[in-house]
């Protein structure tokens, strides 16, 4: 392996998008990560200049790789290795606001949702 590339699953873990490398690998295998527009594998090599599209917890991130971290270090170091497009940030903030709004409209119940709330949840999901 050369110093100008890094495995995708390691890059995602080093840049703190996932808490464990296993979780990063599962996200890649699950098809939640695309590199340069193509579905990626864990062994896909990432280099500076690559474009990564990542879906994590229903939120989409569009990233440009600026560098390759040497290790999983502080968050500030990790954030210096990528840049997120302003459009991606705005879209993600809209998604978060929409999800919060949906949750606030739901009836609250203690513990497990009751029959009525379960019906509402299914209707919102479109099932």
Question: Is the same domain home to 92 and 80?
Answer: no
Tokens in use for 89? 């940030």
**pLDDT (tens digit per residue) in 106-122:** 666 677 888 888 888 78
At 65, which CATH number?
Answer: 3.10.290.10
- Whether the per-residue pLDDT at 53 is higher than 60: the answer is yes
Work out the number of other CB atoms within 10 angstroms of the CB of residue 30. 9
pTM of the model: 0.74
Q: What band does 2 get if pLDDT is binned at 50, 70 and 90?
A: low
Question: Is the same domain home to 73 and 96?
Answer: no
According to the model, what pLDDT value does residue 86 have?
A: 92
- Whether the per-residue pLDDT at 57 is higher than 80: the answer is yes
Poorest-pLDDT segment among 8-12, 75-79, 97-101: 97-101
Question: Is the same domain home to 11 and 61?
Answer: yes
Distance CA 53, CA 35 (A): 6
According to the model, what pLDDT value does residue 108 have?
A: 67
- Whether the per-residue pLDDT at 50 is higher than 90: the answer is yes
- Whether the per-residue pLDDT at 1 is higher than 60: the answer is no
According to the model, what pLDDT value does residue 114 have?
A: 83
Q: What is the count of structural domains for the chain?
A: 2
Question: Is the same domain home to 2 and 58?
Answer: yes
Among the listed residues 48, 2, 46, 50, the one whose alpha carbon sits nearest the alpha carbon of residue 24 = 46
Domain, as residue range, for 46:
1-84
CA neighbours closer than 13 Å in the CB half-sphere of residue 81: 26
- Whether the per-residue pLDDT at 82 is higher than 90: the answer is yes
According to the model, what pLDDT value does residue 109 have?
A: 67
């Amino acid at each position: 392996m050369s110093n100008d590339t890094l495995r995708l699953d390691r890059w995602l873990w080093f840049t703190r998008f996932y808490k464990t490398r296993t979780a990063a690998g599962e996200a890649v295998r699950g098809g939640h990560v695309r590199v340069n527009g193509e579905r990626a594998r864990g062994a896909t090599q990432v280099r500076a200049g690559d474009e990564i599209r990542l879906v994590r917890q229903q939120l989409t991130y569009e990233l440009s790789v600026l560098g390759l971290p040497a290790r999983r270090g502080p968050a500030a170091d990790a954030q210096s290795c990528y840049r997120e497009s302003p459009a991606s940030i705005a879209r993600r903030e809209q998604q978060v606001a929409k999800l919060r709004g949906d949750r606030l409209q739901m009836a609250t119940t203690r513990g497990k949702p009751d029959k009525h709330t379960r019906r509402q949840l299914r209707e919102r999901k479109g099932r």
